[in-house]
A and B are shown apart, each in its own frame.
Chain A
């Protein structure tokens, strides 16, 4: 394997993101068109029918599959493919696009991630019972299984989680496209009703609808679109065993994050993530998921996250700001859209277009998703040339 084969070969020249939220009045078509046309405009693409050569889509619960994107954008008579990979779906769709461009087959492709969970009529995930094993099947229940042993081993607790929720709620107030724009306090978080211990309401990401899109091209062609393009420095996906079945699991980490981070750091040549990455969007489906990501991504030593949370390392003003747009916490989590939305935020940060939440001199940004039991992780690093 040649880990560096992908480094800086592919450029992002345009991105778009619709407003995330309970988009009762919008079809998937509406959100896909908004995101794609913003990306077209951003890239200066005026004739997508000619300029977009292939489409890579990501959605966890599409109603029609690839046709949902092709029909919305009228991008027919060319390759349109769809990826499903749990919460890493958006990142993985982007990854397929990157490899398709890097191999030289296509000059310019469109990546679209979207999901529309709010058409299901329930506020949480739907639980269709087809068996007796593996129940209860609630994501909060799954992701909370690391809590007891992690807390016991490293002395962290619900207040550390609350600080993450407070940070992300604050950051979300500064992001125009976030769903929740409301500051909360540590007390709000600690006193909210319990969803699945130790997760209270504010420890959980909201559910929302959304779509995000990217236009990518070979590095050599990027200048033809814009000067301030961003390069894909590394992108990886990794799967691990179901942590509820894995006989070797220690309940102190999420293995897929460690494995995906290793792939991507090798690709990007990163050895000291906290110094070499300037801004990060990590998967905060639950506050503890973000806490573990700090450690599993190597931003800090295993067990030390609580110290960094207290000292503000990951706040907007800290050494390595995380979830600068408020994360899943304030955007919600339309599964297929989230990974692409995170790359959108990093792209805006690297270009200096992140307004009130702008991180100074950020030239390297990391995004991270983890999902399923959780078993699947995607990590992507983009950087200015």
Chain B
């Protein structure tokens, strides 16, 4: 039976209190939303979730990558190919991007299931990331959040089998964003809820239950996309699910509506608490709706070490101000806008892909010294061209040195710059998601794939370190 064989999630470290948006009084424990750091975007969130998902899994066994997002930066240039390279997967993986709809995440899940059923792949990684923006201080802005999710889909050793799926499509002007517009727009919310959300979800759930001859009471959990807390609970009741015992918490006021990743992220939260035999109903919404029936298998127990939602919810820091958020999103003009500079050399990037995207180092066959960046002659024993590649991105490093650079042009100075030792190689890495007070010599660090800058007007990705948590 096809199903989910692994899962992972990523919620950014930073939270923006909703009171900061309205300019109102800040209260501890008040509602907030998860916001990508200035060096994160939809693709990096997806990669981070993918790393969580692939913990302990041989990356060479992955046959395909589907990347879903409504907010991925490039209009032409595949995100899944970047994800595959960052995760150091095989070259003969099937890659595809899905976008343009809130349903892109569940669409990708469906496509992965179907490709496995069709026999074209055995293990397909679905990664989803969204960092949608609404106009500053608009009503919609408080509603949105940023997150990434990943599932490995396969038909052996499943943690949750997918027993049925159903989809309906709907043409409606509810939420949209056009090319060149950074902001998502929405029609009046009561129209959207009544004639978009409620209508499509009811139709898809009814269709799936009918197909499978199931009743709402047959499910342990309903994992449901929701535009807001009230509509979410009301629709569950209308579908004859008990909002208290059956409805999965959508984490309103904690993360926010993270677009294509929203229902999938809740599924991860549900799986974290599920045990073998539980039955879940997953419903994604956007231009229609997708529904999936899942049955949790004993394999779920092997996934207890995933960071998932629970771990990431606890790892948090508050953004100090709304202005800082505006700087992160480049909504405030700055004196030196890096987007205007020439940017990367494509040929240099081409030559350095293994080292800079897959974060490979070289290990000398003669003296075993691991070294970085790309060398022809060994740093230590001077052997020429006697190297094997080793992946550093999944290793723990330690800080040999650091500085706090106020001169380096960060939107949130100081920029923490480090020399990090990883397996004996030394890497000059920026540190992210860190309070400078935490930084000390020999601190263990892990690697995270980030947008290093956007010179040339495109996101340019590289690895940074962050305290190992």
B419 cross-chain contacts in A, Cβ below 8 A: 145, 243-244, 251
Contacts A144-B403, A196-B405, A247-B371; A129 near B453 (Cβ below 8 A): yes
Name A's interface SS: loop
Beyond A141-B403, A246-B379, is A133–B352 a contact (Cβ under 8 Å)? yes
State whether the Cβ of A193 lies closer than 8 Å to any Cβ in chain B: yes
Are B406 and A128 in contact, with the CB atoms below 8 A? Answer: no
> Chain B residues near A127 (CB, 8 Å)?
408-409
Tell me whether A132 and B400 are in contact in the complex, defined as CB-CB below 8 angstroms, given that A138-B405, A246-B379, A247-B380 are known contacts: no
CB-CB contacts below 8 Å: B381-407 with A: 400-407
A194/B414 contact (C-beta < 8 A), A129-B341, A132-B452, A147-B403 known: yes
Q: List CB contacts (< 8 Å) of A111-169 with chain B.
A: 124, 127-136, 138, 140-141, 144-149, 152
Residues of A within 8 A of B343 (CB): 129-130
Contact (Cβ within 8 A) A248 B373: no
A245: interface (CB < 8 Å): yes
Q: Can you list, as one digit per residue, whether each of B419-434 has a CB less than 8 Å from chain A (1) or not (0)?
A: 1000011111010000
Give Cα A195 to B417, complex, Å: 13
Tell me the bound Cα distance from A132 to B356 in angstroms: 8
What's the nearest-Cβ distance from chain A to residue B272, in Å? 34
| Interface residues contributed by chain B, number (CB under 8 Å) | 45
Within 8 A of B (CB), among A270-306: none
Question: Does B230 count as interface, using CB distance less than 8 angstroms?
Answer: no
A241 within 8 A of B: yes
Asked if residues B428 and A131 are in contact (CB atoms below 8 Å), the reply is no
Is the C-beta of A76 less than 8 angstroms from some C-beta in chain B?
no
Chain A residue at minimal CB-CB distance from B420: A244
B460 interface contact, C-beta 8 A: yes
Is B197 in the interface zone, CB < 8 Å from A? Answer: no
A245–B428 CB distance below 8 A: yes
- The CA of A247 and the CA of B380, in the complex, are separated in Å by 8
In the assembled complex, B332 has its CB within 8 A of some CB on chain A: no
The answer on a CB contact under 8 Å between A130 and B424 is no
Interface residues of B in 344-365 (CB under 8 A from A): 344-345, 348-349, 352, 355-356
Contact among B338, B417, B426, B461 for A246, CB-based, below 8 A: B426
Q: Which residues of A contact B379 (CB under 8 A)?
A: 241, 245-248
> Which B residues are in CB contact (< 8 Å) with A251?
400-401, 419
Q: Quote the shortest CB–CB distance from B352 to chain A (angstroms).
A: 7
Min CB–CB distance A27 → chain B (angstroms) = 27
Do A130 and B415 touch across chains, with their CB atoms under 8 A apart?
Answer: no
Bound: A130/B356 CA distance, A: 13
Report the Cα distance A111→B33, complex, angstroms: 63
Is the CB–CB distance between B405 and A140 below 8 Å? yes
Residues A136 and B342 in contact, CB atoms below 8 Å apart: no
> Is B369 an interface residue, CB under 8 A from the partner?
yes
How close is A210's CB to chain B, nearest CB, in angstroms?
A: 22
Which residues of the other chain, A, contact B406 by a CB distance below 8 angstroms?
193-196
Q: How far is the CA of A130 from the CA of B424 in the complex (A)?
A: 27
Q: Which residues of A sit under 8 angstroms from B461, Cβ to Cβ?
A: 132
From the candidates B342, B372, B407, B415, name the one contacting A124 in the complex (CB within 8 A): B407
> Quick check: B453 and A132 within 8 Å, CB to CB?
yes
In the assembled complex, the Cα of A147 lies from the Cα of B409 at a distance in Å of: 21
B400: chain A residues within 8 A (beta carbon):
149, 249, 251
Shortest distance from the beta carbon of A373 to any chain B beta carbon, whole Å: 9
Residue of B nearest to A136 (CB): B408
Q: Which residues of A contact B408 (CB under 8 A)?
A: 127, 135-136, 138, 141, 196
Of A132, A138, A248, which is in contact with the most chain B CB atoms at under 10 Å from its CB? A132
Instruction: Give chain A residues whose Cβ lies under 8 Å from the Cβ of B424.
Output: 247
How far, in Å, is B408 (CB) from chain A's closest CB? Answer: 3
A130 touching B348, Cβ below 8 Å: yes
**B441 CB-CB contact with A under 8 Å:** yes
Q: A130–B342 Cα gap in the complex (Å)?
A: 7
Q: Which partner residue on chain A sits nearest B345 by CB separation?
A: A130
B192 interface residue per 8 A CB criterion: no
B225 within 8 A of A: no
Chain A residues numbered 204-262 whose CB sits less than 8 Å from any CB in chain B:
241, 243-249, 251
Which residues of A from 174 to 212 have beta carbons under 8 Å from B?
A: 193-197
Contact A131 B430 (CB under 8 A): no
Q: Does B140 lie at the interface of the complex (its beta carbon under 8 Å from any beta carbon of A)? A: no
Chain B residue numbers with a CB within 8 Å of A244 are 419, 426-428
Q: Once the chains bind, are B407 and A138 in contact (CB under 8 Å)? A: yes
Give the chain B neighbours of A195 by CB distance below 8 A.
405-407
Q: List 22 A-B contacts (CB under 8 A).
A: A124-B407, A128-B341, A129-B338, A129-B455, A131-B352, A131-B356, A134-B428, A136-B409, A138-B408, A145-B401, A193-B406, A196-B403, A196-B405, A197-B404, A197-B414, A243-B419, A245-B371, A245-B379, A246-B379, A246-B426, A247-B425, A248-B380
Chain B residues at the A interface, C-beta cutoff of 8 Å: 338, 341-345, 348-349, 352, 355-356, 369-373, 379-380, 400-409, 414-415, 417, 419, 424-428, 430, 441, 452-453, 455, 460-462
Other A-B contacts than A129-B343, A130-B343, A149-B441, 7 sampled, CB-CB below 8 A, are A134-B428, A135-B452, A136-B408, A138-B407, A146-B401, A196-B407, A251-B400
Top 3 nearest A-B pairs by Cβ distance?
Answer: A136-B408, A132-B462, A244-B428
